[in-house]
Amino acid sequence: MTNQQPRFESWGRYPALQADVLPLHWASDFPPQSLPSTPMLPVGAGRSYGDVCLLDQGTLLATRALDRFCHFDPAAGILRCEAGATLAEILEFAIPRGFFLSVTPGTKYITVGGAIANDVHGKNHHLVGTFGRHLLRFELLRSDGVRLLCSPAQNPEWFRATIGGMGLTGLISWAEIRLRPIVSRQIRYQGTKFVGLEEFVALSRAAAHSEYTVAWLDCVARGRNFARGIFMQGQHSDEPRPLRPSKPARLTFPIDLPEFALNPFSVGLFNALYYNKQLAKQKTGFVDYEPFFYPLDSVLQWNRIYGKSGLLQFQCVIPWEHGTQSGIVRILEAITASGLASFLAVLKVFGDKPSPGLLSFPMPGITLALDFPIRQQVSFALFDRLARITLEHGGKIYPAKDARMTAPQFQAFYPQWREFARYVDPRFSSAFWQRVTQLA
């Protein structure tokens, strides 16, 4: 039953591991008739950056063909679909019917299963929390054949463990999610230039009632331009407009760029151009939801910009009570000192809506996310330094973006991991899980 296929890659293309890939077409394809003795792991669209969606010498259960929509209640905006359906497919269905996702990350090319398993967050976290808060129920299939219906009222402990459970508690076959109504594709947008973290925090506080907020940060600028960026806020427009579906993206990044293409000079130039594309301190207007939520999705396979050695993202959250701003400044200074440049740096204030998952990442504070090319010794030493600063400031790192956290670091970031481990399916594992629990 196992098909040897081309290697399944995560978005960062690191680490490069070889596992068998078993495509599932129906929920009844699981558990496989002859269970392999090596571990299994369900995977979605492989949009996680590191190794939460990877296994070495095991079987990846590919869920993308489980993409059917089962039921839609237009009065309540509740959709039941199989877990391999992508957010892009849901939008294609929902937009013409006057609905949008309650929570969406910065790419729509992820599956519902992946969104649950990492309990993803979006630009509206400060108001509505994570994806899992808008999840009504789902079905969880265990390798011993047991099927569990999970909701806040039914098998609540499995509901809690599976949201943010990184695919380790079993296979999610379908899920029921709540959508939110819209009357237009348009977003009422405001972009404000800022310099320094204090101004960023002040803008975030002033925009606390704005539906969506996020900032792009120029992490190469130094001196009086240190921590400059553009603070973006938006709301769904309330002026009714035709709700047409989106056109598919047509551009694909054609080649793996050579390593030297991304260097502090080219990134500094990009950042200066990006910062100065908005001349005025403030810019307002209407934009389509696609460039507002998914600016990177317009070019397919943009990860090839980072070349064959790939990329990694560092995403941390530093809570308010532990000197958030000084923690973020220390991280930015460590990056500058390393000589590695990132042109995708994002800052956002997380709100205080509790995340429903036992291992969910968000907590109140500031989250910072940066993409880095993989340059073995330099980037790995930097990642370790950034993890240590994060720990010193009481923060944590997001597993969905990670491939470098050590076992002691993970266990300090997520002390509840031992409680979580009780729910892990005995036949399931991941390269991430093997790495971060190896000393236990």
Which segment (13-21, 120-128, 384-392, 408-416) binds ligand FAD by CB under 6 A? 120-128
Structure tokens at 9: 């890659």
Structure tokens at 95: 């937009």
Within 73-214, residue ranges assigned H as helices are 87-94, 112-117, 125-128, 156-162, 197-206
User: For residue 31, is the peptide bond before it cis, meaning its omega torsion is within 30 degrees of 0?
Assistant: yes
State which residue, 377 or 416, has the beta carbon closest to ligand FAD: 416
Chain-centroid distance, C-alpha 38: 28
Q: How far is the CB of 4 from ligand FAD (least distance, A)?
A: 19
Based on the shown chain and the rule CB under 6 A, indicate whether residue 188 belongs to the binding site for ligand FAD. Answer: no
Based on the shown chain and the rule CB under 6 A, indicate whether residue 53 belongs to the binding site for ligand FAD. Answer: yes
Q: Can you tell me the distance from the alpha carbon of 9 to that of 50, in angstroms, rounded to the nearest whole number?
A: 9
Angle between helix axes 324-338 and 376-392 (nearest 10 degrees) is 170
State which residue, 397 or 400, has the beta carbon closest to ligand FAD: 400
Question: Which listed residue (19, 40, 43, 230) binds ligand FAD by CB under 6 A?
Answer: 43
Q: How far is the CB of 46 from ligand FAD (least distance, A)?
A: 4
Question: Which listed residue (15, 42, 191, 394) binds ligand FAD by CB under 6 A?
Answer: 42
In the sheet with 59-62, reading across from the earlier edge strand, the strands are 20-23, 59-62, 40-43
State which residue, 90 or 110, has the beta carbon closest to ligand FAD: 110
Backbone dihedral region for residue 223 (phi beyond 0: left; psi -120 to 50: alpha; all else: beta): left
Single-letter amino acid, residue 210: S
Question: Which listed residue (59, 102, 111, 204) binds ligand FAD by CB under 6 A?
Answer: 111
Q: Can you tell me the distance from the alpha carbon of 400 to that of 422, in angstroms, rounded to the nearest whole number?
A: 21
Give which of 395, 382, 415, 216 is closest to 313, Cα–Cα: 382
Chain-centroid distance, C-alpha 179: 19
Residues 6+ apart with CB under 8 A from 306: 13, 257, 262, 371, 373, 374
Dump the DSSP string for 372-388: EE--HHHHHHHHHHHHH
Spell out, one character per residue from 397 to 416, where the chain touches ligand FAD: x when CB under 6 A holds, - when not: ---x----------------
Spell out, one character per residue from 269 to 308, where the chain touches ligand FAD: x when CB under 6 A holds, - when not: ---------------------------x------------
Q: Can you tell me the distance from the alpha carbon of 424 to that of 26, in angstroms, rounded to the nearest whole number?
A: 23
- The answer to whether 51 touches 398, Cβ cutoff 8 Å, is no
Which segment (37-45, 225-233, 329-337, 351-359) binds ligand FAD by CB under 6 A? 37-45
Question: Which listed residue (129, 167, 191, 234) binds ligand FAD by CB under 6 A?
Answer: 167
Based on the shown chain and the rule CB under 6 A, indicate whether residue 88 belongs to the binding site for ligand FAD. Answer: no
Q: How far is the CB of 407 from ligand FAD (least distance, A)?
A: 18
Based on the shown chain and the rule CB under 6 A, indicate whether residue 358 belongs to the binding site for ligand FAD. Answer: no
- The answer to whether 279 touches 354, Cβ cutoff 8 Å, is no
Please give the size of the binding site for ligand FAD, defined by CB under 6 A: 33
Based on the shown chain and the rule CB under 6 A, indicate whether residue 48 belongs to the binding site for ligand FAD. Answer: yes
Question: Which listed residue (40, 52, 177, 335) binds ligand FAD by CB under 6 A?
Answer: 52
Question: Which listed residue (15, 39, 58, 114) binds ligand FAD by CB under 6 A?
Answer: 114
Which segment (38-46, 254-262, 381-389, 412-420) binds ligand FAD by CB under 6 A? 38-46
Contact footprint for ligand FAD (CB under 6 A)? 11, 41-48, 52-53, 63, 83, 105-107, 110-111, 113-115, 117-118, 120-122, 166-167, 171-172, 296, 400, 430
